[in-house]
Amino acid sequence: EAHDVRLDVAGPTLIKAQGLSQNIRAAAMDIANLRTGSEEILVDDRVVPALLGRGGSNLQQLEKDYGVGINLNRMHGTVTVAGQVEGLQGAADAIRTILQMNKEKDVELGLSGPHVTTYLMADRGKHITGLQRESGARIQLQRQGGPDAPASLIITGATYKVDKAVEMLNRTLAELEGRTLEVGPLDPDTMKAVIGRGGQNIKQIREKTGASVDLHWAQRCVKVVSDVEEKAQQAKAMVEEIVERNQHMELFLGADVCIALRTNKGKAVRDAVCEALTPQEKSAAEPAPPPAAAAAAEDKEADKDSKPEEEGAAETPKDEGAESNKDGGKKEEKGQGPKKEEKKR
């Protein structure tokens, strides 16, 4: 346009010019003074769709912005940029940025405990699903053992998508730790009581409140978290109620007390404790009377113990009677002798 000359690119090294001769010569001098060049960039085929954009819109916009020509060769996995040096460098940098942002990568993000895992995977993993939808990255949970073992999230996808997902997750986890309630430290027996037989207690708390309730055996505590503060407080109160009903205490006593506990089944210690109790406490501490069956059994045992004595006492007159019968028999035999002789006479 500056020289009123029409230029047509007829080949890789041929340009056709049409116009006045003096104008063509001036245009040719300007063309010769141009600093041009080209640059070839390797492209991963998986990133080509992101580089092209919809209908090739990304490359078209780059050509317009930087005044260069861009040629994509998918067979060779290259992009060639050609033009003036100033525009060439800018276009090449823009292409590299697109490629880097869309390069596949994966990041592993560790979780602080089972309560976080339970929260993220609650309601069929709705929190993870929402993060995937918003960031565009893929997020998977990876466990290293049982429910109480460390867990982590594996985030994969384009670099910019993974970076966005990591940022969102870090923000979510920070907020989660701020809402986490803790009950502890607890001894192992109390923690088992929180679980209940077959997990009945902890299952009931979760179902009633909708909160995430998990035991941290290493930290000897129970952690509660929920999106609703009232639900978290309700779950914590239910846990504390179970803990209160299952208190355990360790007493470090002297050797003499331990000996007294073992001697005579601890009677000395029981007597000392009973002396310190109020009448109401004493009556509450007294064992319940044995049931009828037990009482009958005790009576039966008592009868067995007394029976030999009674039998021994009854044997003496029996023997005396036998002796008297023997003596009487002898006397009768002596008396019967003369009577038999009289009959014979």
Same domain, 28 and 87: no
Show the domain range for 148.
104-178
Find the CATH number of the domain harbouring 50.
3.30.1370.10
What pLDDT score does 253 carry? 67
* Confidence band, pLDDT 50/70/90 cuts, at residue 35: low
Residue 300 domain-assigned (yes or no): no
pLDDT tens profile 205-231: 988 988 888 888 877 889 888 878 888
Three-state DSSP string of the chain: CCCCCEEEEEECCEEEEECCHHHHHHHHHHHHHCCEEEEEEECCHHHHHHHHCHHHHHHHHHHHHHCCEEEEECCCCEEEEEEEHHHHHHHHHHHHHHHHHCCEEEEEEECCCHHHHHHHHHHHHHHHHHHHHHHCCEEEEEECCCCCCCEEEEEEEEHHHHHHHHHHHHHHHHHHHHHCEEECCCCHHHHHHHHCHHHHHHHHHHHHHCCEEEEECCCCEEEEECCCHHHHHHHHHHHHHHHHHCCCCCCCCCHHHHHHHHHHHHHHHHHHHHHHCCHHHHHHHCCCCCCHHHHHHHHHHHHHHHHHHHHHHHHHHHHHHHHHHHHHHHHHHHHHHHHHHHHHC
Same domain, 60 and 94: yes
Q: Which of 166, 176, 179 is nearest to 134 (CA)?
A: 166
Same domain, 174 and 188: no
Same domain, 170 and 113: yes
Residue 341 domain-assigned (yes or no): no
Same domain, 109 and 165: yes
Q: Is 217 exposed, middle or buried (0-12, 13-18, 19+ CB in 10 A)?
A: exposed
pLDDT of 155 over the 90 cut: yes
Tokens, residue 4: 């009123």
Mean pLDDT, the chain, rounded, equals 75
* Confidence band, pLDDT 50/70/90 cuts, at residue 291: low
pLDDT of 3 over the 60 cut: yes
| Angle value at C-alpha 154, between 150 and 158, nearest 5 degrees | 160
Please identify, among 134, 156, 178, the residue that sits at the C-terminal boundary of a domain: 178
pLDDT tens profile 169-189: 998 888 887 788 888 888 888
Taking the model in full, what pTM does it have?
0.50
Residue 209 domain-assigned (yes or no): yes
Find the CATH number of the domain harbouring 215.
3.30.310.210
Measured between alpha carbons, how far is 106 from 166 in angstroms, rounded to an integer? 10
pLDDT tens profile 294-326: 455 555 555 555 555 444 444 444 444 444 444
Measured between alpha carbons, how far is 234 from 36 in angstroms, rounded to an integer? 73
Instruction: Provide the number of structural domains found in the chain.
Output: 4
Strand-pairing partners, residue 297, are none
pLDDT tens profile 86-137: 788 899 999 999 888 888 888 988 887 777 887 888 778 888 999 999 999 9
